[in-house]
Amino acid sequence: MEQFVINIGRQLGSGGRTVGEIIARRLGVKLYDKELINLAARESGICSEFFEKADEKESRGVISTVVGSLRAPFVGDDGGVTNVLSNDALFKIQSDVIRAVAARESAVFVGRCADYVMQGRENLLRVFIYAPKEARIRNCVEQLHMDREQAYKMCADVDRARARYHERYAGYPVMDPEHFDVMMNSDLLGVSGTAAALADLARRKFHLPDPSAKEL
């Protein structure tokens, strides 16, 4: 069986990560979300706190909030020396880790512009999970134990941050249908139903065996 990759973009409160977890479990592969931060830190030798500070946030500056004026050299593709603590450099490291993981195993990636990083790859399914604003706010209130005003603000802030991050590194809008194979409203079937539908789609696309099928 050839290796495959599923990328999942998502809106906060849509349940996208949980959808990814269920899909990964159903297909017997690993899910990579926040785990990419630890992998990138281990591979680069850079403290994971730098990656956490830059995680899906657009910024041209150095992550000075962590270590003030600390500087370290990083050699880019053009041979020039940049700052290893810049968000651009951290994005490159994390992207290299995504490619390395995809080269050795089938996987489900959540966020991190993986739709852009993996573009052109064969055996790829690009998914975006969204939901109506009211459903997202309700989910944040129930799952994150906050009031409606906090949930509304968090959704707006995260949407804005992810949009800027995606525009900067991918060069196209975060919900651009031209760059996704499937865009699903998780409120339509619920998180479990959405995951089940996408797992079935993945099995068909990648010609994977269905463990629930019985021989006649």
% of the chain at pLDDT higher than 90: 66
What distance in Å separates the CA atoms of residue 199 and residue 179, rounded to the nearest whole number?
A: 20
pLDDT of 115 > 80? The answer is yes
Q: Hunting for tokens 């959405």 — which residue is that?
A: 194
Token code pair at residue 12: 């906060």
Of residues 124, 54, 147, 141, the one with CA closest to residue 93: 54
Residue 11, domain extent? 5-52+98-206
Note if the pTM is more than 0.95: no
The CATH number given to whatever domain includes residue 15 is: 3.40.50.300
In a domain, 126, yes or no: yes
Q: Is the residue at 121 inside a domain?
A: yes
Question: Is 52 a residue whose pLDDT tops 80?
Answer: no
- The average pLDDT across 127-155 equals 97
pLDDT over 60 at 67, yes or no: no
Does a structural domain hold residue 13?
A: yes
- The reply to whether 82 falls in a domain is no
Domain count, the chain: 1
d(CA 11, CA 177): 14
Distance CA 152, CA 173 (A): 21
- Helix, strand or coil for residue 106? coil
